[in-house]
Structure 1
Amino acid sequence: MLTTADIAFADRGAGEPVVVLTHGAGVDHSMFDAQAASLGRRGARVILWDMRGHGRSTLADGSRFTAVDALGDLGALLAECGVDAPVLVGHSLGGNLVQAFARKHPDRVGGVIVLDSAWNAGPLSTSERLALRLAAPVLSLIPRSVLPRLMARASAESPEAVARAEAVFARMPKPVFLDVWKGTASFVAPDPGHRSPVPIALVRGGRDRTGNIAGAMARWAAAEGVTEHVIPDAGHMVTWDAPDAVSRVLAEILEGWGLLPARPEGRSL
């Protein structure tokens, strides 16, 4: 049974395609500020939202973050905005979420673009399984006073992105973050034969050192027969480390899918 929550979102523009941007664990919609503005200038309708327990979205009194609730919230968001078959863009936890939503509701999704996220259905080695199982207990041992700084430095490369990530991570109570991490891990369920039922694109920061993302996304791209778009010199927080490069790649993917008209050569975003 889904628990209720107040979900904050913004629905901008009235054009095509409709692009829904879903942030990663511990941050909020602001991680997509640059990309939302760029897509809006190209005529897209852009929907941003804060997952429950993040940003301006609440958790119901006494409730905890779960993957089931997050999936329900995304479905409710699409219904509230009255959109059919949007492109779902998800970073990290958001990437796990949009993978799962497209698998469960392929008729409600026009395409999926995953940024710096684990492959839900991908095979895991013994060491990867162990790391996934131990991550939450290890995180629980790190003092609340230093956890946001450690996470930011592990996630971002540029000083500006590190500072921005640390400030946002610091807003989330540690118990909530641990629940969010457990929710993220719960999406990972190896099923090597599964392939995306909708068009899919994969984007990663070239210096992403979190989990098994760097290796898994390359294997995932090969399994799906798609290009892995690697953003040089960017870490896990790729949209803050390299905002313009990510905006260009998103536009190129949508152009390749025939959802955005190609820009004349030499024109900037």
Structure 2
Amino acid sequence: MPEYFGGLAADSHGTADDRPPLVFLHGLTYDRRQWEPVLRELADIDPGRRAVAFDLPGHGGSPRRDFYRSEEVVEVVHQAVTAAGLDAPIIVGHSLGGALATVYAATHPARGVVNVDQPLLVGGFRDVLLQAEPRLRGPGWRQVWESMVAGMHVDLLPPAARELVRTATTPRPDLLLGYWAELLDTPAEELTRLRTRDMAAIRERGIPYHHVSGNPLPPAYRSWLESALPEVAVTVLPDSGHFPHLAHPAELAKILTG
């Protein structure tokens, strides 16, 4: 059974000590179970480390909200982090969770960010969403989501990880439209400005930032990322598609303890 902190369901591990606590945020439609392989590896190589995997609002055991804009969700997460007694954690986020981890570190105390396969410039993805919006708002929403999942290369994962992707998820139209509302109604230029601002705040605070991906970053995006945050670390965990934390949980655990 989950614990609850600030209204969010969570799996809590370890005890507080001088090691920075870890906070894990999953991707859209998934839940905290996505982090189980990484947490098992972490328990082996860094025993007793304080680590909490949360269900984001509207996911898993966490209650739904009327709105899911990033700044509002980050405030809910911060309340949960505070309620859990986590002081300036390292925020680890996959996909949507990587974007939220970035906003969190730009606005709240943090000792690091590990962004797992979430590009911060989403102009191209926004165009895809705008084209799909009529179907997202009707009975075709599931086909839109399934076509996106098909492009995540789940087939590259080992069988147990594929099963976790298949079962630890609850896609719903209110989640897709709610979390994507900000992309649908905000111009791409403004989204880029906001993420550039976030990276500037992270740089000013001296917060380490590690981008982990399943494929090499496109040159233009990597150029922007290194310009916005010259100290950024980039690691590619190959043959993992959109789920490098599930294809290579031991490697990600090592990154978190490095």
Q: Secondary structure of 1:146's match? A: helix
Distance change in 2, residues 1:147/1:56 (3 Å): farther
1:200 aligns with 2:206: no
Give me the whole-angstrom Cα distance separating, in 1, the residues matched to 2:221 and 2:252.
Answer: 16
Q: Which residue of 2 aligns with 1:173?
A: 172
Q: Which residue of 2 aligns with 1:58?
A: 63
Contact kept, 8 Å, 1:206 with 1:232, in 2: the verdict is yes
Q: Secondary structure of 1:189's match? A: helix
Give me the whole-angstrom Cα distance separating, in 1, the residues matched to 2:224 and 2:111.
Answer: 19
TM-score for both structures, normalised by structure 1: 0.74
Give me the whole-angstrom Cα distance separating, in 2, the residues matched to 1:93 and 1:184.
Answer: 12
Q: CA deviation at 1:166?
A: 3.9
The structure with more helix, counted as a fraction of residues: 2
Which of 234, 239, 248 does residue 233 from structure 1 map onto?
Answer: 239
Equivalent residue runs for 1:112-191 within 5 Å: 112-119=113-120, 129=123, 131-138=125-132, 140-141=134-135, 143-155=140-152, 156-158=154-156, 160=159, 161-169=161-169, 171-183=170-182, 188-190=191-193
Contact kept, 8 Å, 2:33 with 2:168, in 1: the verdict is no
Q: CA deviation at 1:19?
A: 0.5
Contact kept, 8 Å, 1:202 with 1:217, in 2: the verdict is no
- Residue by residue over 1:16-70, the C-alpha shift from the partner in whole angstroms, topping out at 9 and shown as x without a partner, is 231001111111111111112222331311111000111111114xx23222321
Q: CA deviation at 1:163?
A: 4.8
Which segments of 5 or more consecutive residues in structure 1 lack a partner in the other structure? 123-127, 208-212, 256-269
**Percentage of identical aligned residues:** 21
1:219 aligns with 2:195: no
TM-score for both structures, normalised by structure 2: 0.77
Give me the whole-angstrom Cα distance separating, in 1, the residues matched to 2:25 and 2:7.
Answer: 16
User: Root-mean-square deviation (CA), in Å?
Assistant: 2.8
1:46 aligns with 2:45: no
Contact kept, 8 Å, 1:7 with 1:50, in 2: the verdict is yes
Give me the whole-angstrom Cα distance separating, in 1, the residues matched to 2:23 and 2:220.
Answer: 24
Q: Which residue of 2 aligns with 1:11?
A: 12
Distance change in 2, residues 1:9/1:83 (3 Å): same
